Amino acid sequence: MSSSDIKNFGILGYPVGHSLSPQMYTAAFKAAGFPNYNYILLPVQAGKLFFAVEGIKSLEFRGVNVTIPHKSTIMKYLDAIDADAMVIGAVNTVVNDGGMLTGYNTDVVGFLAALSEANFLPEDCHAVVLGAGGAARAILWGLCKRRAEYITIGARNPQKAQALANDFLSQGQVSGYDWLTDEFKELLQTADIVINTTPLGMFPHVDDMPPVDLKLLPEGALVYDIIYNPVETKFLRTAKELGFPTLDGLSMLLLQGREAYRLYTGELPDLKVMRRAVERELQSK
């Protein structure tokens, strides 16, 4: 794309006022020499999603990021769905190619890239995933794609955990548990990685964390929290105090954003510029 072209992008959801995407993408566009690329907030309530999607076509938006509550419901309004998004059952990026809208899920790419940057190889590992909501699905699919040997889902609702596990049984060895049971606690003792996909500990509820005894983990297990606000959650702080290596959610946020940027422009952004923009915005909140 020519730097002289005006291109519009945005984040579609409700609410979207808290989003870091405008700062992240605007900084990346500017650094890449795309001063006429605009990134805006698109607050769209559930009943108006169809009209918003039609508006993306009519106004010739190049692409949009998609957040709660539209990540699954938007799929029926798109012309094509990427394979990862189809398995996960959610879209977080839509690209407009001449009026044809294609949905992608860049969370799985961001998650796996973050693991790679942390020098963690999910192949043949025992992964424990905390939470059975929408955020867990991309994590589970990433682990299955990289052939994790065994995946344990721990959640407040064991029925929901097992239902999620059942969705991925054809992809790997996955099971769901109540995270307060002795059986789950025993499984923690063989975990290579524990990943929090719940909102417990997210701003403003920074004193919360999943009710999991991290002392049960074996030495060297990686403790990962996909929350990025705050960057260091109580969950990660507790793990660090116990001597475990940790990984925060900022890397996944940036790396999934990098993949969306690539889908939009065909180029890779300056990740350092994106990181600085996000960190600056987090510090100002």
Token pair 């999620």 is found at 164
Find tokens 């030495």 and name the residue: 219
What is the distance between the alpha carbons of residues 23 and 5, in angstroms, rounded to a whole number?
20
- Is there a catalytic annotation at residue 71? yes
DSSP the chain: --TTS-EEEEEEESS-TT-SHHHHHHHHHHHTT-TTEEEEEEE--GGGHHHHHHHHHHTT-SEEEE-TTSTTGGGGG-SEE-HHHHHHT--SEEEEETTEEEEE--HHHHHHHHHHHTT---TT-EEEEE--SHHHHHHHHHHHHTT-SEEEEEES-HHHHHHHHHHTTTTS-EEEEETTSHHHHHHHTT-SEEEE-S-TT-TT-TT---S--GGGSPTT-EEEE---SSSS-HHHHHHHHTT--EE-THHHHHHHHHHHHHHHHSS---HHHHHHHHHHHHHH-
Catalytic residue among 7, 30, 48, 71: 71
Catalytic positions are 71
